[in-house]
Amino acid sequence: MYDIAYEELPAVDRVPAEILTEIFLHCYHDNSVYTLRTEAPFNLFSTCQRWRLVTFSIPLLWSTFNVVLLHDACRPSLPVLNLWLDRSRMWPLSFSLMYQGQNTLVEGNGSTMSKLFAPLETLLIHLSRWRNVYLDFSDLPPNASFLPYSPSEAMILEKFAIRTFEFNPRYTTPLIPTFMDWISSVAECSPALHDFNSFGKGHISRLSGFNSLHSVPWNRLTTLTLERVSEILALFILQRSSSLVSCFFSGLGHYSDWIPDSQHAGPQLRDEIFLPKLTVLSVTAENDIDRFWGHLIVPNLQELEVWMLPSARQWHQGEELVQFLRRSGSVIATHSDIPHVAMSSLMQGPLVSRRGPSISRLVLRNCNMRSRLGAVARLLSDSLRDLKVIDKAMVDDSIMKLLTYPERHGDKTALNPKLNASNQTDLEAERIFLCPHLEQLTLRRCIAVSDGATSRMVKSRWLPPSLNSSRDGVDVEKENDELALNLKCDLKGRLSCRKASSSLEGRTSKKHLRQTFQSSSHHRFGLDVQCSLKRPRLELLRKGST
């Protein structure tokens, strides 16, 4: 009787609970600090009663959650939060705790004020289980008082993110310094911490360690993200972060984000800041950051992204960036693991390196490089695989010719041209071809070349003279038909063209054309060229159509 009843059950009900648990875990991949109603564990325990029981028995599914704190409420409520914590058992916790208020004064007695930190106090009981945490108390009432809970034992915290307080004269309590000191103490008690993120417009000087007893253990970090920090404080932090692998600065600029005192007039910087392990660097700047580049030496950098915001358009043509690449290339050309004490003697002499670090991906957005783009391209020519330039009229005939493969039977145009006074570079008059290993090239709003130059460059990289460097596919996106006609003529009909949808912008219709050339080799070269159609038609054809 039992076997007959068991066979009549649906197949999903015949799966043992142990197997169902493994299926749930195999399909669950979450490293975030947020949970959605459409994801686990909600979509699992709401399916049926059996799945609900199995879900309740898997602590991993209950170890990730987000808590939103309001003036008079908590979501989820404290009983529900405690239930989640009980179901997670001893599993490491990943969560976000955010206070969403109006940053206004809270009236009431001490019990009303204590409710603000009730969820945090609940989570502090499980402080030893924190692994991935995001805290946002930036909207706390200015008259709130924060009572820190100092860690008494080592934590397993690996990733820590906060949103800083933006200073406001309405603050009547030492909320900000007390909270920031507590953040530093938590980070110091986390030997496994390797990823730190700070968002918001508040000051983080109390986390840096130059004017406080506690600081984030910068030397342990491998990944760092900082938002709206001055270039001086950023350099001070970098010189203490010798283990960094990836670094991201957003809103780097000229700010007074530290408070001088009698003991500390300001962060003290070394002349050379050596970062031997850094491979990824992304900088978004609001001001001229020449001083930032003037201190850095990054010999093993592989990806560099620089985005100058509109307020920073007066950047000095990128000369400091060129010198930064030369310094980094000089170190790798001499000794890849040179001790710090020998750096000063190395940098005293003239920089004669003709090669920068082995950067494979370079993104320059609104950098106003002008004459220095050619110098950057030459320094990184041997290693570049992905180049993206987004600017205004920065790629002229001289740069385009240097990006063009020399023709098979000798091409006089392949010789390095004599650059005019409007675009002087330090490239020598010799036969040279830049970026032979380039796989992806993106040029947006930056082409100012004569007719045919762009199509010749594309053709040369489609059909290079060396069989070892042949390409098997090229994607070209252009906002007019003339480029398509030129390329189709140059490649003698070997292009397959298909038109994409078009839209109107001003008085000119924007037509996108994607063309793909296929061959039998195993390499790929991509080109994304975009031109503005806000100018008259003749101007467009002269500057961007080819």
User: What are all long-range contacts of 207-213, with beta carbons under 8 Å and residues at least 24 apart?
Assistant: 207/180, 207/183, 208/233, 208/236, 208/237, 208/258, 208/267, 209/184, 209/240, 210/236, 210/258, 210/264, 210/266, 210/267, 210/268, 211/258, 211/259, 211/261, 211/263, 211/264, 212/180, 212/181, 212/184, 213/181
Any domain includes 99: yes
Q: Give the predicted TM-score (pTM) of the model.
A: 0.78
- Whether residue 47 lies inside any domain: the answer is no
Alpha-carbon dihedral of residues 239, 240, 242, 243, nearest 10 degrees?
A: -140
Return d(Cα 463, Cα 364) in angstroms, integer. Answer: 27
In this structure, the number of other CB atoms found within 10 A of the CB of residue 320 comes to 20
Say if 314 falls within a structural domain. Answer: no
Q: Helices marked H in 434-481 — which ranges? A: 453-462
Q: Which residues of 49-75 are buried (b: 16+ CB within 10 A; e: fewer)?
A: eebeebbeebebbbbbbbbebebeebe
Is residue 309 one of the residues assigned to a domain? Answer: no
Token look-up 């460097």 returns 469
* CA 546/CA 543 separation, integer angstroms: 8
Q: Where does residue 215 fall: left (phi above 0), alpha (psi -120 to 50 degrees), or beta otherwise?
A: beta
Q: In the structure encoding, which two tokens stand for residue 300, read together?
A: 């093993």
Is residue 213 a part of any domain in this protein? Answer: yes
Q: Considering the domain boundaries, does residue 87 fall inside one?
A: yes
The pLDDT tens digits of the residues spanning 443-463 come to 998 888 898 899 888 888 876
Look at the chain and report how many structural domains it folds into.
Answer: 1
292 falls within a domain: no
Flag whether 398 is in a domain. Answer: no
Give the pLDDT score at 525. Answer: 54
Instruction: For 432-443, give one letter per residue: b (16+ CB within 10 A) or e.
Output: ebbbeebbbbbb
Say if CB 244 and CB 277 are below 8 A apart: yes
Element counts in the chain: helices (H) and strands (E): 18, 19
SS3 of the chain: helix, strand, coil, percent, to 5? 35, 20, 45
Look up the domain containing 177 and give its range. Answer: 63-217
One pLDDT digit (tens) per residue for the chain, 546 residues = 456 666 677 777 777 777 777 777 776 766 666 666 666 666 666 677 787 888 887 888 888 899 998 767 788 999 999 999 999 999 999 999 998 876 555 555 555 567 788 899 999 999 999 999 999 988 888 778 787 777 878 899 999 999 988 777 666 668 888 888 899 999 999 999 999 999 998 888 889 877 677 789 999 999 999 999 999 999 999 999 999 999 999 999 888 766 555 565 667 889 999 999 999 999 999 888 888 999 999 999 999 999 988 765 555 657 889 999 999 998 754 444 444 444 444 444 444 456 889 999 999 998 877 778 889 999 999 999 999 999 876 788 989 999 988 875 544 444 444 444 444 444 444 457 899 999 999 999 888 889 889 988 888 887 655 544 444 444 444 444 455 455 444 443 333 333 333 332 333 333 333 333 333 333 445 556 543 333 333 233 333 333
Measure Cα distances from 278 to 134, 211, 217, 268 in Å.
24, 26, 17, 22
Comparing CA positions, the residue from 520, 438, 437 lying closest to residue 473 is 520
Instruction: Spell out the residues 6+ positions from residue 513 whose beta carbon is closer than 8 angstroms to its own.
Output: 476, 477, 478, 481, 483, 484, 497, 498, 499, 500
